[in-house]
Copies of this chain bind each other. A is one copy, B any other.
Amino acid sequence: MNERHVLPADIERTSMAIIQGELTERGIQVPAGCEAVVQRVIHTTADFDYAKNLCFTPGAVDKGVEALGRGAVLVTDTNMALAGISKPTLKKLGCSAYCYMADEDVARAAVQENTTRADAAMQKAAQLHPGAVFAVGNAPTALFRLEKLIEEGLRPALVIAVPVGFVNVVESKERIFSACEAAGVPVIAAMGRKGGSNVAAAVCNALLYTAANALDPAQRGWKG
């Protein structure tokens, strides 16, 4: 066995071929244009449930890719998701990414308003970056805040709604999906209980790599 001499980019190509092969075997047809996102989430989780759980408003992937291609800001609800986003690809596209969960003013605002830090962090992010791509992988309360802000007129480039969990999570994703549909805001959501910071990062990376490949078709994106 000679595993250490296999290049990560080769492993990624092989993995994606296996994933696509198994999707075909299982008779799962991923919506056109959504393949890169679905494949990368399965690559991140080894969980084919996401082929069915992931829902997209029409053109959501293209709109996310387009926004990142012109240097949009990415906002996440956890530092773990932020850590998982490809920094070289952000740099190549002139994009930047932020998570405000650990900020002192966010902690203070959460106490003052009797709410969660995730909620307060989204309020801060929406003020600073109203047209950002918002990626939520952990906190339903972040989605409830985004829902309210969208109803009040916020127009993000894209909402990625993929928290994981057992309490308020399923509802938070159904509600943000409806709110985004009603407002014409593109949304990608993992319906049901599953999701997570790793899934949020995977969706972001799929969009970033697609945007970077559009700049330079010879470039293949992979998680380094």
A residues adjacent to B (C-beta < 8 A): 1, 3-6, 8, 11, 14-15, 18-19, 43-47, 78-80, 82-84, 114-117, 119, 140-141, 144, 164-169, 171-172, 192-198, 201, 224
Contact = CB atoms under 8 A, between A and B. Distances in A.
Contacts of A224: 117
Given A144-B3, A166-B15, A116 B83 contact: no
Contacts of A116: 4, 8
Contact of A46 (B144, B168, B194, B198): B194
Nearest to A49: B47
Given A44-B196, A116-B8, A15 B80 contact: no
Contact of A83 (B46, B83, B144): B83
A46 B4 contact: no
A165 to B, nearest CB: 6
Given A194-B45, A195-B46, A196-B198, A165 B8 contact: no
A136 to B, nearest CB: 14
Q: How many copies does the complex hold?
A: 2
**Dominant secondary structure of chain A at its interface with chain B:** helix
Given A1-B171, A14-B167, A198-B198, 12 more contacts: A3-B140, A3-B141, A3-B144, A4-B141, A6-B168, A11-B165, A43-B166, A45-B164, A45-B196, A46-B166, A47-B47, A80-B198
Given A11-B167, A164-B46, A166-B14, A144 B4 contact: yes
Nearest to A118: B8
A172 B6 CA distance: 14
A165 B141 CA distance: 31
Nearest to A169: B46
Nearest to A192: B46
A116 B167 CA distance: 40
28 contacts: A3-B140, A3-B168, A3-B172, A4-B114, A4-B141, A5-B115, A6-B167, A11-B165, A11-B167, A14-B166, A15-B166, A15-B167, A19-B166, A44-B196, A45-B45, A45-B164, A45-B194, A45-B196, A46-B166, A46-B192, A46-B195, A47-B194, A78-B84, A80-B84, A80-B197, A80-B198, A80-B201, A196-B198
